[in-house]
Chains A and B, each alone.
Chain A
Amino acid sequence: MSQLLTFAWTAPNIDFHAFAPEIILAATLVIVVVVDAFTSERSRWAASSLTGIGLLVALIPVATLAYDGVDRVLFGGAFVVDTYALIFKALFLIAAYVVVLLSTNYIAEGDYWEGEYYMMLLASVLGMLVMASARDLISIFVALELLSIPAYMMAAWRKRDQRSNEAGLKYYLMGVFASAVLLYGMSLVYGITGTTLLSEIGANFSDIVSSQPIVTLGIVFVVIGFAFKVSAVPFHTWAPDTYEGAPTPVTSFLAVASKAAGFVALLTVVYVGFYGRSDVIEPLMWVLAALTMTVGNFIALRQTNVVRMLAYSGIAQAGYILAPLAVVGASAATASESLRAVVIYLAIYAAMNLGAFAVVIAVARKTRSGEISSFGGLFSYAPGLTVCMTVFLFSLAGIPPAAGWFAKLSIFGALASADTASGYVLAVLVAVNSVIAFGYYGRLMRVMWMNDAPDGDRTPIRIPASIMAALVITMAITLVWGILPGSLTHFTDQVSLFSLLR
């Protein structure tokens, strides 16, 4: 009898608490599909409400897990729930909630397919949550596809608009190409180390000397695969067209949540897997960061469309976020400083960029245009929106007391802590780039505050409640983190990926 039992299949011991956020999201997804299928046209609004509620409910287990404070390792190390993962899960859920708030009116009034839209959104967020915990090449790849494929479709959601089709197609082709490169790199890494588990790859890497070119190639390909996702130069070409063509709420989702997910994967891979080969990572990241911020900023200067401008500004910001990774190998202290800097930057970036998109969406409801010139005279007829946008732009430019300054300070701090010439040069490059960036942030501010309304139309803008809520959330976060950065670092200073190295 006992012999028989040993052959019988036993369920793996799954910690359901650790999995709860993902389970809740998956359940919400099912509910949204079912409700959408069985309700009449007139109650389509239910989809967005359910999605929002589901996202907020999923935050509860994230909070309880954080309160619990124990690192949970599942599936032989492929799925880990630690502070790092929880912070990003919270970030993705809140960002997605704000995106839902921004989408509600846009999708409803545009007569798009509501139920499907929110289903896609939930699927993508689910991929992001898995990404935050993934510590294995396979689970990372699965998470990446799960979050990307719905996003391709969402980018093309305005089906009858050619530019939206272009956006979706470009994003799809580039994304698939990047996935292929990534997979190739992963297969090389697997071939050398004989494992897909990042912590084991990390352990094996330091011993391997003989097949160095192959190792380098594998690392470079994996990094390039994620470089597409975070739109680093020279792999950024899809971003502006996709951002401009996609529905603006989707753009905000791509620019914030999707980009953050790319960075999460990059961080995990670099810190847990490739850390022993910082001699390859550092120069690669240095060049990527320097190129990304400089090219992004210079092209942003020339934009006339506000969404494109924000797209290029997002590219430049990705450059700043990459910068600390260029000094990871200097010392253990620098490495954790860099990790925290990236986490802090991503959190603040999410708040301020979503806020900026919220204003763009609110203004476009009246002007029906994304041109920078359409913001003319905004101060005279929508002073509240103007002040909000000004705060977000100052935050993006890194000027206190809006939160962006602390993000930039963390980047500078990480670079300076390395105390190497290359670190200082990159810090100066970030400084110079911040000044260039103000060229276009300042121009938008100038148009809003100092120009007249283009056609003399000064009717006030009616802001729907959901967008107002999004503005309040992002604004509050931007200001609180800017004035009391301790409220953010309180969470981030526990972040570490090194516990897995041992």
Chain B
Amino acid sequence: MKDFLNSWGLSLMIFLPLVGALIMLVVPKPREQFHKLVALATSLVVALVGVLVLTNFDYDQSGALQFVVDKSWIPIINSRYILGIDGISIPLIALTLLIVPLCIIYSWNHFPEPRNPKAFLILILILQTGMIGSFLAQDLILFFVFFEVVLLPMYFMIGVWGGEKRQYASLKFFLYTLFGSALMLVSFLALYFLSAEVMVNGEMMHTFDMRLLPEAATAISAGAALWIFGGMFLGFGIKVPMFPFHTWLPDAHTQAPTVGSVILAAVLLKLGTYGFIRIAIPILPEAATKWAPFIALLAVIGIIYGALCCLAQTDMKRLIAFSSVSHMGFTMLGIATLTTFGLQAAIFGMVAHGLITGMLFFLAGSTKERFHTLEISRLGGMLKQMPHMGWILGFSVMASLGLPGLAGFWGEFPSILAAYNPAEGLNVAFFRVMMIIAAVGTVLAAAYLLWLYQRVGFGEPKDEFANDPHVKDVSFTEWVAWTPLLVLIVVLGFFPNIIFKVTDAAVGGVTALVSGIGG
């Protein structure tokens, strides 16, 4: 079993969704039930393979890459098909494996116009390939390919199944990300040519291998490294998104179909932060310390700006979208500290944000379906009209604002704390100022989230919906799709060590590179 997983486990996780998509492709469109079943079965099989991999993973060695596959791919530029999984990828892989089946279950009876479940589900499966591939790839070009593969399905998902301004939103999403990734590719190539050659199969060659680059990249001059980091910063920062590159996010989220928003918030944004932790910082630690104050500043601006925007929103989904900007700011602040604690907080923050904001977008989607509007001023009295949904909304809001005992807390609080004591070589006073401003951000978060809940959950149902027969409480498929998220939010809130323990050694390896630059 272990042998099989060693050589095939990771590749199966990446390409099984494509196999499912191919099967669906050849079956005609009207057989909707078949398509739904195949999609669900595929995502469950992928999850099963994932669980097998995770249970066979050696957690005592979580700092090292395991299940490594290393095959020749494009020999001329020495780009190889290298996959591997370690403590940094595990939480994000697990999140992806969980979210995709839940999204398919949620869609079961909720296909947005113009329906067409076949195309919609095929896109979700292609998305899954891209997402898992990005988290497993250990070669820069391979990573780039998967990073881009994610774009296509999302573009169509927003553009075809989205809201009124879907065309504008989808194009904006695409152009922003494409801009970032094009510059990122130039950076990767500069990295390739400027880094030292390494021994590959008895031949000295340049390399895209992420495992070898931290060492090989020490040959790059400090000036060039700054530029290269800048290119990657744009690529990853737009994806996160960091202020001031965030403007695609509210539009994309607002216009995307529910499932699209959930996947976007839960997994896609994490590709950016993951890129920082996996690629940018370990390969160019010295440039990272020079960029860190700037990143921290933008992160904190994002926290405050996102929160203030939330206070000004009248649309529930748009409010949640801006809260993402704010929350990802905390994650980026954690990363900018370049400490083990900060990076761990960031990874936890990614998972927590994925669960909680994913949940909030599910709720927004279900609200929209019942009321056909997300105007906060037209909603109200949810607790009276749909007590279960009202309570779930309350729970998610509390989790999102960082209530201790729920997952959100462990993403935000340690990030802020880490800023108190940033890595060696960073300006302590500056980071402490950032810490204080970020702390103010949590207060604002409480303000906008509670205000949202007050207006939507409390009070009497508005007249126009009071006797509407369409407004029913949580349905069966919704329970199935939501329960795992709700349970995990509580479990991670009480036992944050589940994630911290896994990430500790791997993150320690990254920060060791950062602290090693002085000596």
Residues 431-458 of chain A: 1 if any B CB is under 8 Å from the residue's CB, otherwise 0? 1101100110011011001100000000
Q: How large is the interface on A (under 10, 10 to 19, 20 to 34, 35 or more residues)?
A: 35 or more
Q: Complex Cα distance A427/B186, Å?
A: 7
> Which residues of the partner chain B approach A419 to less than 8 Å between Cβ atoms?
193-194
Known: A401-B145, A417-B193, A486-B73. A446 touches B182 (CB 8 A): no
Q: Complex Cα distance A445/B160, Å?
A: 11
A166 within 8 A of partner (CB) = no
> Which residues of the partner chain B approach A449 to less than 8 Å between Cβ atoms?
156, 159-160
CB of A434 within 8 A of CB of B182, answer yes
A241 within 8 A of partner (CB) = no
Q: Complex Cα distance A486/B141, Å?
A: 13
Q: Complex Cα distance A226/B72, Å?
A: 39
Neighbour of B72 across the interface among A406, A427, A438, A486, CB < 8 A: A486
Q: Complex Cα distance A400/B146, Å?
A: 8
Question: For residue B179, which residue of chain A has the nearest CB?
Answer: A435
Instruction: Give the contact stretch, choosing among B58-66, B74-82, B360-368, B468-476.
Output: B74-82
Q: Return B79 CB to nearest CB of chain A, in Å.
A: 8
CB of A439 within 8 A of CB of B186, answer no
- Give residues of chain B (168-200) contacting chain A, Cβ–Cβ below 8 Å: 170-171, 174-175, 178-179, 182-183, 185-186, 189-190, 192-194
CB of B175 within 8 A of CB of A439, answer yes
CB of B145 within 8 A of CB of A400, answer yes
Instruction: Give the contact stretch, choosing among B147-155, B385-393, B436-444.
Output: B147-155
CB of A450 within 8 A of CB of B160, answer yes
- Give residues of chain A (394-444) contacting chain B, Cβ–Cβ below 8 Å: 394, 397-401, 405-406, 408-409, 412-413, 415-417, 419, 424, 427-428, 430-432, 434-435, 438-439, 442-443
Q: Return B450 CB to nearest CB of chain A, in Å.
A: 38
Neighbour of A394 across the interface among B152, B159, B166, CB < 8 A: B152
> Which residues of the partner chain B approach A397 to less than 8 Å between Cβ atoms?
178
CB of B160 within 8 A of CB of A416, answer no
A371 within 8 A of partner (CB) = no
Q: Complex Cα distance A435/B166, Å?
A: 19
> Which residues of the partner chain B approach A493 to less than 8 Å between Cβ atoms?
76
Question: For residue B159, which residue of chain A has the nearest CB?
Answer: A450
CB of B151 within 8 A of CB of A424, answer no
Q: Return A430 CB to nearest CB of chain B, in Å.
A: 8
Known: A412-B186, A435-B175. A400 touches B148 (CB 8 A): yes
CB of A486 within 8 A of CB of B186, answer no
CB of B183 within 8 A of CB of A428, answer yes
CB of A442 within 8 A of CB of B171, answer yes
B167 within 8 A of partner (CB) = yes
> Which residues of the partner chain B approach A424 to less than 8 Å between Cβ atoms?
186, 190, 227
> Which residues of the partner chain B approach A443 to less than 8 Å between Cβ atoms?
171
Q: Return A471 CB to nearest CB of chain B, in Å.
A: 16
> Which residues of the partner chain B approach A415 to less than 8 Å between Cβ atoms?
189
Q: Return A389 CB to nearest CB of chain B, in Å.
A: 13
> Which residues of the partner chain A approach B77 to less than 8 Å between Cβ atoms?
409, 413, 489
CB of B175 within 8 A of CB of A489, answer no
B111 within 8 A of partner (CB) = no
Question: For residue B234, which residue of chain A has the nearest CB?
Answer: A431
Q: Complex Cα distance A438/B192, Å?
A: 26
Neighbour of B166 across the interface among A412, A413, A430, A450, CB < 8 A: A450
Q: Complex Cα distance A449/B158, Å?
A: 11
Residues 48-90 of chain B: 1 if any A CB is under 8 Å from the residue's CB, otherwise 0? 0000000000000000000000001111110000000000000
A485 within 8 A of partner (CB) = yes
B291 within 8 A of partner (CB) = no
B144 within 8 A of partner (CB) = yes
CB of A409 within 8 A of CB of B175, answer no
Q: How many residues of B contact A (CB 8 A)?
A: 36
Neighbour of B148 across the interface among A340, A399, A430, A439, CB < 8 A: A399
Q: Return B234 CB to nearest CB of chain A, in Å.
A: 10
Q: Complex Cα distance A319/B166, Å?
A: 32
Known: A399-B148, A399-B152, A450-B159. A438 touches B73 (CB 8 A): no
Known: A434-B178, A450-B166, A489-B74. A401 touches B149 (CB 8 A): yes
Q: Complex Cα distance A432/B180, Å?
A: 9
> Which residues of the partner chain A approach B156 to less than 8 Å between Cβ atoms?
449
- Give residues of chain B (391-434) contacting chain A, Cβ–Cβ below 8 Å: none
Q: Return B262 CB to nearest CB of chain A, in Å.
A: 21
Neighbour of B76 across the interface among A401, A408, A442, A486, CB < 8 A: A486
Question: For residue A447, which residue of chain B has the nearest CB?
Answer: B167
Q: Complex Cα distance A340/B76, Å?
A: 10
Q: Return B163 CB to nearest CB of chain A, in Å.
A: 12
> Which residues of the partner chain B approach A430 to less than 8 Å between Cβ atoms?
182
Residues 122-162 of chain B: 1 if any A CB is under 8 Å from the residue's CB, otherwise 0? 00000000000000000001001100110110011001100
Q: Return A456 CB to nearest CB of chain B, in Å.
A: 15
Q: Complex Cα distance A428/B190, Å?
A: 11
CB of A450 within 8 A of CB of B167, answer yes
Q: Return B11 CB to nearest CB of chain A, in Å.
A: 14
Q: Return A451 CB to nearest CB of chain B, in Å.
A: 9
> Which residues of the partner chain B approach A486 to less than 8 Å between Cβ atoms?
72-76
> Which residues of the partner chain A approach B151 to less than 8 Å between Cβ atoms?
399
> Which residues of the partner chain A approach B182 to less than 8 Å between Cβ atoms?
398, 430-432, 434-435
CB of A409 within 8 A of CB of B178, answer no
Q: Return B316 CB to nearest CB of chain A, in Å.
A: 25
Q: Return A467 CB to nearest CB of chain B, in Å.
A: 21
Question: For residue A340, which residue of chain B has the nearest CB?
Answer: B76
> Which residues of the partner chain A approach B227 to less than 8 Å between Cβ atoms?
424
> Which residues of the partner chain B approach A408 to less than 8 Å between Cβ atoms?
185
Known: A427-B186, A431-B185, A442-B174. A405 touches B148 (CB 8 A): yes
Q: Complex Cα distance A450/B255, Å?
A: 14
Neighbour of A412 across the interface among B160, B167, B189, CB < 8 A: B189
Q: Return A457 CB to nearest CB of chain B, in Å.
A: 18
Q: Complex Cα distance A492/B77, Å?
A: 12
> Which residues of the partner chain A approach B144 to less than 8 Å between Cβ atoms?
400
Residue from B74, B76, B148, B160 whose CB has the most chain A CB atoms within 10 Å: B76
Q: Complex Cα distance A36/B330, Å?
A: 76
Question: For residue B184, which residue of chain A has the nearest CB?
Answer: A431
Q: Return A291 CB to nearest CB of chain B, in Å.
A: 20
Q: Return B174 CB to nearest CB of chain A, in Å.
A: 6
Q: Return A163 CB to nearest CB of chain B, in Å.
A: 31
Known: A401-B145, A405-B145. A431 touches B76 (CB 8 A): no
Q: Complex Cα distance A438/B181, Å?
A: 13
> Which residues of the partner chain B approach A379 to less than 8 Å between Cβ atoms?
160
CB of B194 within 8 A of CB of A432, answer no
CB of B186 within 8 A of CB of A431, answer yes
Q: Complex Cα distance A449/B151, Å?
A: 16
CB of B186 within 8 A of CB of A399, answer no
> Which residues of the partner chain B approach A417 to less than 8 Å between Cβ atoms?
189, 193
Question: For residue A413, which residue of chain B has the nearest CB?
Answer: B189
CB of B75 within 8 A of CB of A409, answer no
Q: Return A480 CB to nearest CB of chain B, in Å.
A: 13
CB of B171 within 8 A of CB of A446, answer yes
Q: Complex Cα distance A383/B29, Å?
A: 11
Neighbour of A446 across the interface among B76, B149, B159, CB < 8 A: B159
> Which residues of the partner chain A approach B175 to less than 8 Å between Cβ atoms?
435, 438-439, 442
What is A's interface to B at a CB cutoff of 8 Å? 340, 379, 383, 394, 397-401, 405-406, 408-409, 412-413, 415-417, 419, 424, 427-428, 430-432, 434-435, 438-439, 442-443, 445-446, 449-450, 484-486, 489, 492-493
Q: List 26 A-B contacts (CB under 8 A).
A: A397-B178, A399-B151, A400-B144, A406-B74, A409-B77, A409-B185, A413-B77, A416-B186, A416-B192, A419-B193, A419-B194, A430-B182, A432-B179, A435-B175, A435-B179, A435-B182, A439-B175, A442-B155, A445-B159, A446-B171, A449-B159, A485-B74, A489-B74, A489-B76, A489-B77, A492-B76
Given contacts A427-B186, A449-B156, A486-B76, 11 further A-B contacts (CB under 8 A): A397-B178, A398-B182, A399-B152, A405-B145, A408-B185, A424-B227, A442-B171, A446-B167, A449-B160, A450-B159, A484-B73
**Pairs of residues from A and B, 5 with the lowest C-beta to C-beta distance, nearest first:** A431-B182, A416-B189, A489-B76, A400-B145, A435-B179
